[in-house]
Amino acid sequence: MELLYKSTRSESKTVTASQAILKGLAEDGGLFVPTSIPQLDKSIVELSKMTYQELAFEVMKLFFTDFTEEELKACINKAYDAKFDTEEITPIVKADGAYYLELFHGATIAFKDMALSILPHLLTTAAKKNQVKNEIVILTATSGDTGKAALAGFADVPGTKIIVFYPKDGVSPIQEKQMITQKGENTFVVGINGNFDDAQTGVKAIFNNKGLADEMNQSGYQFSSANSINIGRLIPQVVYYVYAYSRLLANEEICENERINVVVPTGNFGNILAAYYAKNMGLPIDKLICASNDNKVLYDFFITGEYNRNRDFILTSSPSMDILISSNLERLIYKIADCDANKNHELMSALSKNGKYEITEEMKSQLVDFYGNYATEEETAQVIKQIYQDTNYIIDTHTAVAACVYKKYKTDKKDKTKTIVVSTASPYKFTRSVMCAIDNKYSSMSDFDLVDELNKISGVEVPQAIEDIRSAKILHNTVCEVVEMQKVVKEFLEM
């Protein structure tokens, strides 16, 4: 049966999965959502005998119904291959009373690789299926990790160009170095004088500029998005929740149908929304625990029902979660508004006009499976140190936010349900913050000395992604103002 997609903002026409992937964002500014969430059609026991790639096919075939089996398997096999440094793709580490689901074993050592290693293949396949002649221009705003993962995924992919905007002073030194050393004739990296929300708003404005779209078309280009609003990123993320559950079952850590909780360090709300989709597909997930850093918009939202971005933007040691507008939340809002696009549109208009909106009591009552909390900078550092001292396991700052919120949840709710803490980045990506959390004596050391020190105290091999940038040449040095973003795009495309 064909599953179609529609926008969260109007009751207009439906599109196929491949069309939704190509467009990224709907023309009315809404996000594409499946018209229903499919149910898993294999039992968890059957799934627990599969490899990551086999299981990925079982999940994705239910959402991407206009891809042939051959096309989808080709995309999956090109994505989840030796770029990952472990055959399991997403290993689970049991530590400190939780299961850490490590999503950082791909090319750029952050969880963004889970989706961005497959998106270029889904996108180029979708272009072929829809007889697209234009070159696809990927336009992306990044809070640090998406940028590099998208660049790595799209570099030198024929028929594509990729432009990444990042906040010049809002990413870690290693994140920045990873991006500005990116090779590939079709890649372009730009720092902006602004924060992530400025970058994301700027990119959305370029997307929604109809005049520019026409000009692009005349020059043989069309935009698409690698941001987590693209359904082609969201669905591949559903896979690892099903896989993680099936691994726990295979390893007899849980019984069949036992419900588990998941804790997700959250920024744009993509990763936790994927867990929500997995739950709606029939995976026995109980609570979805949403962990925020000091930019605790989502925590406040789950408590009060009001989403309010009118507050200071705080730069933290978990920069990939420094976000005040969590784009993917719109998909949840639409769902709890009974899929009423007009109602959702009203709320989103209020958000862009007044910076806030409030949901009704009835909508709020559908959020009972969610729990929100946050970790301060000090708490985040403390939890890294404590887990290292107690177990020798070293987690990155984003994962630490989740670990801390999990502790708060247990104290708060006295819930002993077995729990997956989603581990979204390698500690090697945020070496300085991680090492200084463990001991302040590290604060005077250089970034790469810290890498070697982390290797010494953890015994975890230095990832290839870090070795690669030690001596890499800087290839991108463009910096622009927020208002110049469109101009910069046109210059790069020589329009």
Ligand X SMILES: *Cc1c(COP(=O)(O)O)cnc(C)c1O
Query: C-alpha 58: how far from its chain's center?
Result: 21
| Tokens 């030796």, residue located | 82
Among 106, 194, 267, 372, binds ligand X (CB under 6 A): 267
With contact defined as beta carbons under 8 Å apart, do 408 and 112 qualify?
Answer: no
Helix, strand or coil, per DSSP, at residue 434: helix
Q: How far is the CB of 245 from ligand X (least distance, A)?
A: 19
> Is 78 noted as a catalytic residue in this protein?
no
Q: Which of residues 11-70 bind ligand X (CB under 6 A)?
A: none
Determine, following the binding rule CB under 6 A, whether residue 425 of this chain makes contact with ligand X: yes
Stretch that binds ligand X, among 268-276, 382-390, 408-416, 462-470 (CB under 6 A): 268-276
- List alpha helices for 33-172, DSSP H: 44-47, 52-63, 69-79, 112-116, 119-129, 145-154
Stretch that binds ligand X, among 81-89, 214-222, 263-271, 340-348 (CB under 6 A): 263-271
# binding residues, ligand X (CB under 6 A)? 17
Q: Which of residues 141-160 bind ligand X (CB under 6 A)?
A: 145
Determine, following the binding rule CB under 6 A, whether residue 271 of this chain makes contact with ligand X: yes
Q: How far is the CB of 42 from ligand X (least distance, A)?
A: 26
Among 48, 268, 293, 380, binds ligand X (CB under 6 A): 268
Determine, following the binding rule CB under 6 A, whether residue 424 of this chain makes contact with ligand X: yes
Determine, following the binding rule CB under 6 A, whether residue 171 of this chain makes contact with ligand X: no
Select which of 23, 61, 112, 204 is catalytic: 112
Residue 100: beta bridge partners? 93, 421
Helix, strand or coil, per DSSP, at residue 7: strand
Q: How far is the CB of 233 from ligand X (least distance, A)?
A: 9
Rounded to an integer, what distance in angstroms lies between the CA atom of residue 450 and that of residue 433?
A: 10
10 Å CB burial of residue 365 (0-12, 13-18, 19+) is exposed
Query: For residue 204, what is the enclosing H or E element?
Result: helix 196-207
Determine, following the binding rule CB under 6 A, whether residue 301 of this chain makes contact with ligand X: no
Residue 478: beta bridge partners? 190
Of 369 and 481, which has the nearer Cβ to ligand X?
A: 369
Tokens read off for 204: 């959305």
Determine, following the binding rule CB under 6 A, whether residue 269 of this chain makes contact with ligand X: yes
Of 129 and 177, which has the nearer Cβ to ligand X?
A: 177
Rounded to an integer, what distance in angstroms lies between the CA atom of residue 1 and that of residue 422?
A: 32
Stretch that binds ligand X, among 16-24, 54-62, 85-93, 261-269 (CB under 6 A): 261-269
Of 48 and 397, which has the nearer Cβ to ligand X?
A: 397
Residue 15: beta bridge partners? 5
Q: Which of residues 314-333 bind ligand X (CB under 6 A)?
A: 320-321
Among 120, 147, 232, 265, binds ligand X (CB under 6 A): 265
Rounded to an integer, what distance in angstroms lies between the CA atom of residue 480 and that of residue 439?
A: 37
Q: Could you tell me which residues come within 8 angstroms of residue 435 by beta carbon, excluding any fewer than 6 positions away?
A: 442, 445, 450, 453, 454
Q: How many CB atoms lie within 10 A of CB 178?
A: 28
Stretch that binds ligand X, among 21-29, 62-70, 267-275, 463-471 (CB under 6 A): 267-275
Of 126 and 422, which has the nearer Cβ to ligand X?
A: 422
Helix, strand or coil, per DSSP, at residue 331: helix
Tokens read off for 160: 């594509």
Q: How far is the CB of 353 from ligand X (least distance, A)?
A: 24
Q: How far is the CB of 263 from ligand X (least distance, A)?
A: 12
Residue type for position 349: S
Determine, following the binding rule CB under 6 A, whether residue 371 of this chain makes contact with ligand X: no
Site map for ligand X, 86-125, x if CB under 6 A? Answer: ------------------------xxx-------------
Select from 104, 426, 478, 167 the least CA-distant residue to 314: 167
Determine, following the binding rule CB under 6 A, whether residue 298 of this chain makes contact with ligand X: no
Q: How far is the CB of 289 from ligand X (least distance, A)?
A: 13
Q: How far is the CB of 110 from ligand X (least distance, A)?
A: 4
Q: For 232-256, b where at least 16 C-beta lie within 10 A, e where not — what string?
A: bbbbbbbbbbbbbbbbbbeeeebee
Residues forming the site for ligand X (CB under 6 A): 110-112, 145, 228, 265-271, 320-321, 398, 424-425
Q: Give the residue numbers marked as catalytic.
A: 112
